[in-house]
A and B are shown apart, each in its own frame.
Chain A
Amino acid sequence: AQKITQTQPGMFVQEKEAVTLDCTYDTSDQSYGLFWYKQPSSGEMIFLIYQGSYDEQNATEGRYSLNFQKARKSANLVISASQLGDSAMYFCAMREGPNFGNEKLTFGTGTRLTIIP
């Protein structure tokens, strides 16, 4: 089974609208971390947001928030008030295990987001 599933290969969103990028994960560990990265056309990987499995609140970083639904094993990224610069590939990723900082990071296949002016 896929560890990380991103079911939206591509999305088109009007500028200034909010957008939700879906991510579901599969793990039997109680301790894990979920990450979102952005990859613009220039190619670099940019860290956006982190959610720990024991965090009680949903993570937020500026215009980014993570809609964490533990029982459903989903960790959707929400971008509020989208901008043209948000056009990029977005990857969901997970580390799992009791000391998951030492564990490998598994990525989903990504969602290509295009913001339409």
Chain B
Amino acid sequence: NAGVTQTPKFQVLKTGQSMTLQCAQDMNHEYMSWYRQDPGMGLRLIHYSVGAGITDQGEVPNGYNVSRSTTEDFPLRLLSAAPSQTSVYFCASSYSDSRGREYFGPGTRLLVL
């Protein structure tokens, strides 16, 4: 199993550009989520999904879109990048059972100039 994969590993954008961060998992997990990690603030939830076709907002959803057309994939779209979106982005997935341990991808480091 590859687990949770994310691409790209690193990206530089100019203000106003759009891009999609890719996330895929091969563990047949129902639950998938996106976090951003900024210094001193821990991980904050952007969006999450409890299954294909179902998404919901987390703590910091503004400026981001998601969709979940398949169980495996959960892309995160930045609509118009801003310097405030410079961060490290983690995708994670888990079974929707009582333990709900999340498996994390390796992260994408995004720099918006």
Q: A91 and B42 in contact (CB under 8 A), knowing A100-B98, A104-B33?
A: yes
Is A43 in contact with B107, judged by CB distance below 8 angstroms? yes
Q: Which residues of A contact B106 (CB under 8 A)?
A: 43-44
Please give, as numbers and ranges, the residues of chain A lying within 8 Å of B52 by CB-CB distance: none
A-B interface contact total, Cβ < 8 Å: 64
- Return the chain A residue nearest B58 by Cβ: A104
Residues of B within 8 A of A (CB): 30-31, 33, 35, 40-45, 48, 50, 58, 88, 90, 92, 94-104, 106-107
Q: Which of A33, A37, A44, A109 sits near B99, CB closer than 8 Å? A: A33
Contact A47 B42 (CB under 8 A): no
B40 contacts across to A, CB distance below 8 A: 109
- Say whether, besides A43-B107, A109-B41, A110-B42, A101 and B96 are in contact (CB < 8 Å): yes
With contact pairs A43-B88, A43-B107, A99-B96 given, residues A105 and B102 touching in the complex (Cβ less than 8 Å): yes
In the complex, how many residues of chain A place their beta carbon closer than 8 angstroms to a beta carbon of chain B?
24
Please pick, from A95, A101, A104, the residue contacting B95 in the complex, using a CB distance under 8 A.
A101
**A47→B100 contact, CB < 8 A:** no
Q: Decide if A52 touches B42 in the complex (CB within 8 Å).
A: no
Residues of chain A with a CB closer than 8 A to B43's CB: 45, 91, 93, 107
- Which residues on A are within 8 Å of B, measured CB to CB? 33, 35, 37, 43-45, 47, 50, 52, 91, 93, 95, 99-110
**Which residues of B have CB within 8 Å of A102?**
30-31, 50, 96, 100
Contact B100 A100 (CB under 8 A): yes
CA distance A104 to B100 in the complex (A): 10
Contacts of A43 in B (CB 8 A): 88, 106-107
CB distance from B82 to the nearest CB of A (A): 23
B45 contacts A50, C-beta separation under 8 Å: no
Determine the distance from Cα of A35 to Cα of B45 in the docked complex, in whole angstroms: 16
Task: Check if B101 sits within 8 Å of A35, measured CB to CB.
Answer: yes
By a CB distance below 8 angstroms, the chain B residues around A109 are: 40-42
> For residue B92, which residues in chain A have a CB less than 8 angstroms away from its CB?
45, 105
A112 to chain B: closest CB distance in Å?
A: 10
Q: Which of A33, A99, A107 contacts B42 (CB 8 A)?
A: A107
